Amino acid sequence: MADAKISALTSATTPLAGTEVLPIVQSGATVKVAVDNLTVKNIRSNATSGLLQVVGPAAASTRVMTTPDANFSAARIDAGQTFVGSELFNGATGTTSDPFSSGATQVVLRGGTSGTTSVFLIGGLTAYYAIPFQSNVCDANGFNAAATANVMGYHAATGRSLNAGGTLNAVGLDYAEYMTKAGDFTVAKGDVVGVNAQGKLTNVFADAVSFVVKSTNPSYVGGDTWGSVDQIGLRPNEEATQAEKDAYDAALEVVRQQVDRISFAGQVPVNVLGATAGQYIIAINDNGAIKGQAVSNPTFEQYQQAVGKVIAVEQDGRARIIVKVA
């Protein structure tokens, strides 16, 4: 082979197969080594996006990347910026064929069939093949669009979003539901409010057929359909303009103002002062509006319309009741 400058050589076909050889100097001698055996290999920058890429071996192999015992993070995306295939970060004893092997520490990210295929999974952490956390592919949204730490869709066939093997713990005190207001008025937390014949909240005593209390710190809230993404669409992503984000938040707030969280079970403070434990909180007519009042020996009619029984007095002097739905 005649001598030639490197710049004059024909360009190699890329990506490299790994079997190509390069000359290196080892112990004073010039020897050859396969590209695949280089200490730093299969890591390069994407010519288009500039992102760091890890190029794995043949598709039949399970080992794409290994790391020393240290924390690391990785992601795989296609041109559409979505997760593709199956992303498995494997522990020392786990295998891809048995992702729940005893002692394995694994994270699996993949796409697949709704309700059955794990999109995110941590499994095999004990000898009992436990699954500490698994999130499956959902085929329906339905969740509220309000700002939150996490959102979760549901499986359309079963209507389920979460299967829990233990208790669901929260710091709130009561179970509440969103109810629609009959008009444009404000209800403060702890206020006694009425429910009219159409099942809507009212602040007019004469329109009320029963009475309830607005929740202050609920642990669970039902009826959260007022801001469903199925109705107003998904929240704008990071690429949206600030004007688009502000318009979305404004539209969401308009819908939110039409509802309030009403307590149906548990403990809630109520805006009534001077009450003592053992009394009942009833609704009274306050110049046409609705106001709470504590009574010790309610009549049967008052008991029917009572919103709860006082069990303690808060530090600010308000009564705390166990909710009784009239």
Q: Does residue 78 form part of some domain?
A: no
Q: Which domain covers residue 259, as residue numbers? A: 174-323
pLDDT (0 to 100) of residue 271: 98
Beta strands in 237-297 (DSSP E): 259-273, 280-286, 289-295
183 falls within a domain: yes
Residue-level pLDDT, tens digit, the chain, 326 residues: 567 787 888 888 887 887 888 888 889 899 998 877 775 545 555 555 545 555 555 554 544 555 554 444 455 444 444 444 444 444 444 344 444 444 444 455 554 554 445 555 555 444 434 455 666 667 777 888 887 777 778 778 888 888 888 888 889 999 999 999 999 999 999 999 999 999 999 999 999 999 999 999 999 999 988 888 877 888 888 888 999 999 999 999 999 999 999 999 999 999 999 999 999 999 999 999 999 999 999 999 999 999 999 999 999 999 999 999 86
The closest of 310, 309, 299, 308 to 326, measured between CA atoms, is 308
CB–CB of 103/91 below 8 Å? yes
Number of domains in the chain: 1
Report H helices in the chain: 229-232, 242-256, 300-305
What integer pLDDT is reported at residue 53 of this predicted model? 55
Location of structure tokens 């107003």:
232
The rounded distance, in Å, linking the Cα atoms of 84 and 60 is 16
Residue 63: inside a domain: no
Residue 284 lies in a domain: yes
Contact partners, residue 313, CB within 8 Å, separation at least 6: 275, 276, 277, 319, 320
Per-residue pLDDT, 81:
44
* 318: in domain: yes
Specify burial of residue 232 (Cβ count, 10 A radius: 0-12, 13-18, 19+).
middle
* Residue 210 included in any domain: yes
Report the pLDDT value the prediction gives residue 308, as an integer from 0 to 100.
Answer: 97
pLDDT at position 219, please? 94
The amino acid present at 50, given as its one-letter code, is G
52 falls within a domain:
no
Q: What pLDDT shows up at residue 46?
A: 52
CA dist list (Å): 262 to 180, 189, 238, 324:
10, 9, 34, 12
For residues 108 and 123, give the distance between their C-alpha atoms in angstroms, rounded to a whole number.
9
**Lookup: tokens for 286:** 């306050």
Domain at 268, CATH number: 2.40.300.10
| 202 strand-pairing partners | 194
Q: Are strands 106-110 and 43-45 parallel, antiparallel or unpaired?
A: unpaired
Burial class (CB within 10 angstroms; exposed 0-12, middle 13-18, buried 19+) of 213? buried
Domain-embedded: residue 19: no
